A and B are shown apart, each in its own frame.
Chain A
Amino acid sequence: MKKSEWSDRELEELLRLMPKIQDHRDPRDIYQNVSLKKRKTKSWMLPGIAAAAALFLFFILAPKLMDSTNYSHDKTQEQKSSGNQKMKIADKRDTSMIALQKDDPAVAKENSPKTVDKPELMSTNSTKTAIYDEEVGDGTVLTYWIPDPDVQILIPVSIIVPAAEDTSRLTLFNENMANLKEKEWGLSDFYPLDLTRELYEENNSINVDVPENHQYGLGSMEPIFINALINDISSNSISNKIILTTNGQPGIDFERFGKQENLDIVNKKNHAFFFYYPKGSDYPFLTPSEDSYKDINTAFNAMQTDKPVLGLKSSLLPLQPLNDVTVIDRTLYVSFKGHSDLKDNQLTSSSFEALLLTAKEFGLEKVIVKDSPITHIGSFDLSKENKVPVAPNLRTIQ
């Protein structure tokens, strides 16, 4: 068939005869590699950040540790290794409240009893990581969805900023975007995004405008950018549509999805909260699953196992087994019966917050624990009802 001239048909036939090239690896090996590969990326970066953060924390916290009268010396010694991380959050929580108080005298007055929280938090040596009603005061809670360093998942991180008259929540969101400390928190440097967001009040939509030379439509950026846009707006506004424009012209070009002019915000719920540990940290972010679950029992079951491909860890192990999970009138009842080794420590506290946040995903407002062998987990009083949080993963940008 050697010849000097080929017709299209002959070439097409020849192409169809090209041999199948097989991947001879065992599918289990491939699955294993997928899990490992995800974890290996950028492994050089985070230890450095963690070391710098640890050093920074040491200088900040050393004087406080010396002066503190709230700590039992023995307990401090005993829990030294994990104490620094807990202190970090406690300290940040305190700083955030101080920031609020400084900016707004009214808030300062209203929040003054908050300072008594500190000894309570310290005495139990574990800290709430989410934001609860009583802590918001007159502040505004903003939640930003930030990719992990491998850009696989989005993690909601919340801040409290002083509310300002005549300043919309969207404006506050845009203004504070540049102040996030993603790298310091062990996440991807993602914000500020090179775009403008503007509220179209007449049709309850938000216009997102990107510049002509934007990079958000490129392969790997595309899904994370779209998801972050949707999640950011879903968490911080009641708008139900995003209108996309490029330099004022309709639509944004995406490699995979083609040109998109609108994104509908479907407020997906019923997610389960897992732990995401930034590299080098014992302190997890509480991160919602990508999957939605049909009911809260199914979600709790899912939370008992890791999701290695996404780097998510089980969040319910310290509370297992959960018994008699029932829902009555927006209240979740759960029994810790037979759980004699339930511990009052940071891990259990984070686990309880994962339970609260998941309950919120299912539209519940409070959680009542029955038959608990201990009365407190950190600052959660298990003899009373506990309200679900306002937002997960409080951090400060001061």
Chain B
Amino acid sequence: MDSVFDELYQKYHHDVFQFLFYMVRNKEHAEDLVQEVYIRVFKSYQNFEGKSSEKTWLFSIARNVAIDFFRKQKGWKEKLLEKFDWSTNQVKDEYPIPEEITVQKEEILWIYKCLEFCTMDQRAVIILRYLQDLSIAETAKALGWTESKVKTTQHRSLKVLKKQMELFYEKEGLTSEKVRVER
């Protein structure tokens, strides 16, 4: 096996896979996309100048791969008719929730569902900041943004999550009351 692949796999595979999974919310797609990340890495490995860490560089590639994936999902017609704005677009999905999440406590399941309502950019920031534990500066490098843009997006995404969590509470609360009444 290629030594570069071996090294990257050992160091970063699970983090990159984790990032892609939470971006596209489907394991099979994440499996395909992580392979695409390797292909792009091999293609441009010699251009990596060490200006950012290998890890943030890989996340930036993974994010581009995810964006390209959603572009393809949108289909040719739409792509020709509109200029896709990733900062405002919300992509709704209906994939089954993996077992690793369904076995968690209810709030985790809720927040996973709420992440669906975040834009691609907001989701990327949430994953990098809280699931991958990157700093604001590292997140900015991975996304090719300024630190202030990361902070603003982070703030907005937490606001979206808060709103959705409250809606969930209302919905779930009403359901549980309904159940209680029926009993």
- List the interface of chain A (C-beta within 8 A of B): 1-6, 8, 11-12, 14-23, 25, 27-28, 30-31, 33-34, 37-38, 152-153, 219-220, 222-224, 226-227, 254-258, 290-291, 309-310
Contact with B38, one of A12, A25, A30 (Cβ below 8 angstroms): A30
Residue of B nearest to A151 (CB): B43
Contact with A15, one of B35, B61, B126 (Cβ below 8 angstroms): B126
Tell me what chain B mostly uses at the interface: helix, strand, loop, or mixed.
helix
The answer to whether B46 and A19 have CB atoms under 8 Å apart is no
Assuming A6-B162, A34-B38, A309-B38, what are 17 further A-B pairs, CB within 8 angstroms?
A3-B169, A4-B169, A5-B166, A15-B111, A15-B161, A18-B101, A20-B18, A21-B17, A21-B18, A21-B30, A22-B100, A25-B31, A37-B36, A223-B43, A223-B47, A256-B61, A310-B42
The answer to whether B169 and A223 have CB atoms under 8 Å apart is no
The answer to whether A220 and B158 have CB atoms under 8 Å apart is no
Residue of B nearest to A310 (CB): B42
Distance in angstroms between the alpha carbons of A119 and B165 in the assembled complex: 81
- List the interface of chain B (C-beta within 8 A of A): 1-2, 5-6, 9, 13-14, 17-18, 21-22, 27, 30-31, 34-36, 38-40, 42-47, 60-61, 64-65, 67-68, 98, 100-101, 104-108, 111-112, 126, 130-131, 133, 144, 158, 161-162, 165-166, 169-170, 172-173
Q: Kindly count the residue-residue contacts between A and B in the assembled complex, taking CB atoms under 8 Å apart.
A: 138
The answer to whether A30 and B106 have CB atoms under 8 Å apart is no
Q: Kindly list chain A residues whose C-beta atoms are within 8 Å of the C-beta of B45.
A: 290
Contact with A27, one of B6, B40, B170 (Cβ below 8 angstroms): B6
Q: Kindly list chain B residues whose C-beta atoms are within 8 Å of the C-beta of A25.
A: 31
The answer to whether B166 and A6 have CB atoms under 8 Å apart is yes
Q: In the complex, how many angstroms separate the beta carbon of B111 from the nearest chain A beta carbon? A: 5
Residue of B nearest to A19 (CB): B100
The answer to whether B144 and A18 have CB atoms under 8 Å apart is no
The answer to whether B65 and A219 have CB atoms under 8 Å apart is yes
Q: Kindly list chain B residues whose C-beta atoms are within 8 Å of the C-beta of A220.
A: 40, 64, 68
Distance in angstroms between the alpha carbons of A220 and B130 in the assembled complex: 27
Distance in angstroms between the alpha carbons of A322 and B14 in the assembled complex: 43
**Can you pick out 13 interface pairs between chain A and chain B where the beta carbons lie within 8 Å of each other?**
A1-B107, A2-B106, A4-B170, A18-B111, A20-B18, A23-B14, A25-B31, A27-B1, A30-B9, A219-B64, A255-B64, A256-B61, A310-B43
The answer to whether B111 and A14 have CB atoms under 8 Å apart is yes
The answer to whether B67 and A23 have CB atoms under 8 Å apart is no
Q: Kindly list chain A residues whose C-beta atoms are within 8 Å of the C-beta of B170.
A: 4
Contact with A11, one of B40, B60, B111 (Cβ below 8 angstroms): B111
Distance in angstroms between the alpha carbons of A389 and B60 in the assembled complex: 39
Residue of B nearest to A150 (CB): B39
Q: Kindly list chain B residues whose C-beta atoms are within 8 Å of the C-beta of A1.
A: 105, 107
Residue of A nearest to B64 (CB): A219
The answer to whether B42 and A18 have CB atoms under 8 Å apart is no
The answer to whether B39 and A34 have CB atoms under 8 Å apart is yes
Residue of A nearest to B57 (CB): A256
Q: In the complex, how many angstroms separate the beta carbon of A19 from the nearest chain B beta carbon? A: 5
Distance in angstroms between the alpha carbons of A34 and B38 in the assembled complex: 7
Contact with B14, one of A22, A34, A255, A291 (Cβ below 8 angstroms): A22
Q: Kindly list chain B residues whose C-beta atoms are within 8 Å of the C-beta of A17.
A: 104, 108
